[in-house]
């Protein structure tokens, strides 16, 4: 069955089979593209990949850390938020290389042997090193396979890295709390140290005065010790003289006791009495001096042994003085009583002589001891002089010490204040707070609403636009853009142009409905969104029919070439936004631009649908006007052209 529609480049009639073929071409194109490219992440299981785990686990705090195994498990298990995953095969290096070469594997991920060591190198004492994995794909891999594999590997490593960072940061934040506590303890210790240093500074400040007083006292001691030495020398000399006198007295007493006649005895008694009186007097003087020396001995700083000798000599002097007094008493009577007293006097003199000998020995010892004490007193004076000099130096050094200790006290107080400020400034976290904060810091930025579709929300509008555009081109590959009867027809040019456009517009509208139906089967949009999208598909089908008619009417076969170029530019600018600016600007002026933008707006509930309808209507009107102008031009000819046509007909 034929239709009253002219076929392009042929006078054969157009059949329903031709119409069905033109009608179904964009449906087939759109269906294939949508089925092949829409939401490819749902079919990731059809992509085979291999994992080669060469990692050597490490041991940290007596715990085995096999991060290579964890990454392998993460890749195989996939993300909980994704519905599908690649088909992974655990392999070795040789098998993976062979599988990559023969096409068994679309990608191979190799985990090196130092992966765990590098990933944990941020631990204290380690040298930080970035852990890396190797992703290999065959040189003949498809366009998007590399991107999918890299994205999966990047996601897995990112999750593992986030876990490691979270653990590390959690330890850091807990360490902040420990650091704050330790700084507080250090501040308390520094405060106590500052107090002790201040007390030491106060004591050191008093030390110079004490040292000065010590020097003054030592100087006075040296003076007194010198005077004591001189006095002791005098006493020693007197004591030595007393010892000599006592010896002589003892001899005289023995001679007196040995007297043989009464007259001599009387004279001797008288001499003895006089001598005894003198001896008693001298002995009392010596006893008094020794008594005074005994009283001052301890205060002079003499040794205990020397003071004991002085005490013994003093006692002996007292005894000798008493005996001398007794002897003097015996010698006092007159000559008439000498006979009666001879025996008693002789005995008393003998006893006194013995005591006087003892006194002489004690005085000799006392003289020697006094001489030694004098030497000691002079040595004490020299030492006291040195002590005075040293005390003066001590006073000077103590002043410097006091200044230094005060500086230490001030510095320690500042240290305590700084440590307290640092302790209060360091944040403190509980374990749960540290864990929560670490998870946020390890992954501080999150993108919400990012889809996992390969081309995002623009995929379906792009594919639908391409299908309808090439459907409009196919329509005028089969149908005639300008009627061959334009020259002979009496109908207006606009009507002739409309006769060529009407069937193409009807086909374009039907193509829009069918393409929208195929998209709905694949994507299952809301009814409201789909109705707007379908309306745009119908409008685009009609407008694209008008544009392709105008191109072919104006340029003939070159118009089809231009139409194909428009389709290529639409694909090039609809896949990625990094195309050169000139190409993007040109694509924005194409008739496919309002259709694509309007469909995106319809499916994303944004403004732009109305502008898209207006843009399509403008392109349709302008294109129909071009077709009308071309039809009008073809309705005029020259005589030469008529003769040439007649010759051909003959």
pLDDT in the model for residue 594 = 95
| Confidence grade of residue 383 (pLDDT, cut at 50, 70, 90) | confident
Distance from C-alpha of 391 to C-alpha of 387, rounded to nearest angstrom: 6
Do 79 and 155 contact (CB within 8 A), yes or no?
yes
**Exposure b/e, 306-343, CB count within 10 A at least 16 = b:** bbebbeebbebbbbbbbbbbebbebbbbeeeebeebbe
- The alpha carbon of residue 311 and the mean position of all alpha carbons in its chain are separated, in whole angstroms, by 83
Cα-Cα end-to-end distance for the chain: 31
Are 64 and 122 in contact, with CB atoms under 8 Å apart?
no
pLDDT tens for residues 259-307?
544 555 556 556 656 766 776 777 777 777 777 777 777 676 667 777 7
Whether the CB-CB separation of 460 and 603 falls below 8 Å is answered with yes
Residues 100, 144: contact at Cβ < 8 Å? Answer: no
Look at residue 450 and tell me whether its pLDDT is greater than 50. Answer: no
Residues 486-493 have a mean pLDDT of 75
550 pLDDT exceeds 80?
Answer: yes
Instruction: Using the Cα atoms of residue 315, residue 317, residue 320 and residue 321 in order, give the sign of their dihedral.
Output: negative
Euclidean distance between CA atoms 41 and 255, whole angstroms: 150
Does the pLDDT of residue 485 top 80, yes or no? no
By percentage, how much of the chain surpasses pLDDT 70?
Answer: 66
pLDDT band of residue 337 (cuts 50, 70, 90) is: low
* CA distance linking residue 189 with residue 69, whole number of Å: 49
pLDDT tens digits along 76-90: 887 655 556 778 899
Q: Which of 31-40, 212-221, 530-539, 591-600 has the lowest mean pLDDT?
A: 31-40
Residue by residue, DSSP assigns 315-329 as: HHHHHHHHHHHHHHH
In this predicted structure, which of 247-261, 337-351, 403-417, 573-587 has the lowest mean pLDDT? 337-351
Mean pLDDT of the 566-574 span: 85
Contact criterion met (CB below 8 Å) for 122 and 128: yes
Q: Is 90 exceeded by the pLDDT of residue 451?
A: no
Structure confidence at residue 71 (pLDDT): 81
Please name which of 5, 587, 535 lies closest in space to residue 543, comparing C-alpha atoms.
Answer: 535
Give residue 573's pLDDT.
84
For 555, residues 6+ apart whose C-beta sits below 8 A from its C-beta are 562
Most confident stretch, 435-449, 552-566, 610-624: 610-624
Higher pLDDT, 197 or 543: 543
CA dihedral over 564, 23, 16, 21, signed as positive or negative: positive
Q: What is the dihedral of CA 475, 478, 484, 486, to 10 degrees?
A: -10
**Euclidean distance between CA atoms 466 and 459, whole angstroms:** 11
pLDDT at 649: 44
* Gap between the Cα atoms of 378 and 232, Å rounded: 10
Q: What angle do CA 60, 64, 69 make, to 5 degrees?
A: 125
**Does the pLDDT value for residue 442 go beyond 60?**
no
Q: What confidence score (pLDDT) does residue 350 get?
A: 77
Computed on alpha carbons and rounded to an integer, the radius of gyration of the chain in Å comes to 67
Lowest mean pLDDT among 38-52, 326-340, 556-570: 326-340
Q: How confident is the model at residue 14 (pLDDT cuts 50, 70, 90)?
A: low
Residue 504's alpha-carbon distances to 5, 39, 214, 424, in angstroms, are 10, 32, 128, 81
Q: Give the model's pLDDT for residue 648.
A: 46
Q: Class of 42-141 per CATH?
A: alpha beta
Nearest to 243 by CA among 316, 303, 326: 316
Helix axes 609-634, 493-523, angle to 10 degrees: 150
Q: What is the mean pLDDT of residues 127-134?
A: 79
Q: Report the pLDDT averaged over residues 9-29.
A: 66
What are the domain boundaries of the chain? 2-38+457-649, 42-141, 207-398
Specify the pLDDT at position 620: 94
Does residue 121 contact residue 130 with C-beta atoms inside 8 Å? Answer: no
| 538, HSE (Cβ side, Cα atoms, 13 Å) | 11
39: closest CA among 88, 87, 76, 82? 82
Give the separation between CA 215 and CA 470, rounded to whole angstroms: 119
CA distance 20 to 32: 18
Alpha carbon separation from 510 to 22, 517, 537, 552, 560 (Å, rounded): 11, 11, 9, 21, 22
Summarize the confidence of residues 7-26 as an average pLDDT: 64
Q: What is the mean pLDDT of residues 177-183?
A: 63
Residue 11 pLDDT more than 90? no
Could you give the CA distance from residue 534 to residue 542 in angstroms, rounded to a whole number? 12
pLDDT band at residue 335, thresholds of 50, 70 and 90?
Answer: very low
State the average pLDDT for the chain.
75
- The secondary structure of residue 15, as a DSSP letter, is E
Compute the average pLDDT of residues 536-548: 94
Dist CA 602 CA 15 (whole Å): 36
Residue 623: what pLDDT? 93
Tell me how far apart the alpha carbons of residues 510 and 198 are, in angstroms, rounded to a whole number. Answer: 100
Of 290, 279, 218, 294, give the one whose Cα is nearest residue 246: 279
User: Does residue 445 register a pLDDT over 50?
Assistant: no
Lowest-pLDDT range, 35-49, 371-385, 458-472? 35-49
Is 568 in contact with 574 (CB distance < 8 Å)? no
Q: How far is CA 30 from the centre of its chain?
A: 57
At 209, is the pLDDT very low, low, confident or very high (cuts 50, 70, 90)?
Answer: confident
Instruction: Tell me, letter by letter, the H, E, C secondary structure of 346-367.
Output: HHHHHHHHHHHHHHHHHHHHHH
pTM of the model: 0.52
As a whole number of angstroms, the distance between CA 479 and CA 8 comes to: 5
The overall longest dimension of the chain from CA atoms, in Å, is 224
Residue 49 DSSP code: E
- The closest alpha carbon to 194, from 414, 464, 401, belongs to 414
pLDDT of residue 287: 73
For residue 109, give the 3-state DSSP assignment: strand
CA atoms within 13 A on the CB side of 474: 22
pLDDT over threshold 80, residue 238:
no
What is the pLDDT, as a whole number, of residue 84? Answer: 62
- Decide if pLDDT at 459 tops 70: yes
- Give the Cα separation of 403 and 416 in Å (integer): 20
Q: Which of 23, 73, 31, 29 is closest to 51 using CA atoms? A: 73
Query: Given a cut of 80, is residue 73 above it in pLDDT?
Result: yes
Query: Measuring CA to CA, which residue among 340, 361, 350 is closest to residue 272?
Result: 350
């Amino acid at each position: 069955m034929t239709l009253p529609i002219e076929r392009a480049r042929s006078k054969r009639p157009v059949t329903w089979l031709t119409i069905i073929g033109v009608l179904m071409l964009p449906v087939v194109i759109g269906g294939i593209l949508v089925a092949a490219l829409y939401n490819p992440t749902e079919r990731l299981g059809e992509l085979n990949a291999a994992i080669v785990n060469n990692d050597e686990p490490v041991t940290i705090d007596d715990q085995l850390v096999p991060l290579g195994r964890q990454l392998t498990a993460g890749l195989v298990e996939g993300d909980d938020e994704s519905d599908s995953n690649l088909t992974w095969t655990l392999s070795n290096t040789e098998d993976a290389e062979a599988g990559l070469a023969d096409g068994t594997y679309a990608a191979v991920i190799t985990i090196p042997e130092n992966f765990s060591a590098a990933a944990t190198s941020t631990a204290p004492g380690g040298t930080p090193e970035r852990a890396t994995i190797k992703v290999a794909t065959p040189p003949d891999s498809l366009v998007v396979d590399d991107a999918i594999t890299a994205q999966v590997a990047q996601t897995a490593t990112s999750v593992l890295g986030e876990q490691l960072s979270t653990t590390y940061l959690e330890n850091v934040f807990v360490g902040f709390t420990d650091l704050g506590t330790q700084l507080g303890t250090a501040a308390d210790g520094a405060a106590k140290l500052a107090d002790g240093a201040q007390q030491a500074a106060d004591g050191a400040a008093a030390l110079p005065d004490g040292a000065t007083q010590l020097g003054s006292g030592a100087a006075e001691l040296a003076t007194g010790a010198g005077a004591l030495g001189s006095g002791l020398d005098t006493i020693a000399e007197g004591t030595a003289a007393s010892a000599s006198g006592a010896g002589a007295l003892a001899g005289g007493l023995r001679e007196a006791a040995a007297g043989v006649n009464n007259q001599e005895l009387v004279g001797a008694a008288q001499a003895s009495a006089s001598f005894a009186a003198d001896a008693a007097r001298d002995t009392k003087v010596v006893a008094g001096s020794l008594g005074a020396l005994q009283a001052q001995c301890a205060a002079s700083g003499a040794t205990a042994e020397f003071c004991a000798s002085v005490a013994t000599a003093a006692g002996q002097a007292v005894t000798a003085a008493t005996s001398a007094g007794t002897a003097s008493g015996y010698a006092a009577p007159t000559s008439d009583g000498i006979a009666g007293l001879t025996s008693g006097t002789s005995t008393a003199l003998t006893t006194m002589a013995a005591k006087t000998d003892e006194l002489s020995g004690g005085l000799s010892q006392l003289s020697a001891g006094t001489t030694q004490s004098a030497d000691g007193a002079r040595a004490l004076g020299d030492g006291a002089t040195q002590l005075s000099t040293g005390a003066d130096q001590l006073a000077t050094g103590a002043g410097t010490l006091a200044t230094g200790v005060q500086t230490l006290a001030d510095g320690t107080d500042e240290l305590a204040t700084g440590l307290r400020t640092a302790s209060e400034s360091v944040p403190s976290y509980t374990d749960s707070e540290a864990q929560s904060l670490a998870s946020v810091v390890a992954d501080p930025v999150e993108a919400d609403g990012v889809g996992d579709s390969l081309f995002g929300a623009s995929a379906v509008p792009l594919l639908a636009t391409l299908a309808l555009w090439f459907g409009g081109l196919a329509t005028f590959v089969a149908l005639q853009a300008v009627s061959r009867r334009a020259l002979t027809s009496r109908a207006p040019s606009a009507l002739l142009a409309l006769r060529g456009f009407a069937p193409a517009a009807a086909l374009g509208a039907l193509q829009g409905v069918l393409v929208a139906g195929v998209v709905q089967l694949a994507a299952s949009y809301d009814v409201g969104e789909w109705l707007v999208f379908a309306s745009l598909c119908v409008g685009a089908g009609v407008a694209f029919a008008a544009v392709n008619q105008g191109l072919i009417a104006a340029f003939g076969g070159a118009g089809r070439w231009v139409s194909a170029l428009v389709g290529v530019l639409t694909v090039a600018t609809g896949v990625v936004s990094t195309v050169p600016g000139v190409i993007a600007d040109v694509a924005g002026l194409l008739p496919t631009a309002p259709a694509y933008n309007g469909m995106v707006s319809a499916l994303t509930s944004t403004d732009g649908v109305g502008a898209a309808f207006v843009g399509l209507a403008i392109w349709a009107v302008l294109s129909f006007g071009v077709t009308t102008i071309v039809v009008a031009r073809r309705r005029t000819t020259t005589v030469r052209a008529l003769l040439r046509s007649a010759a051909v007909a003959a």
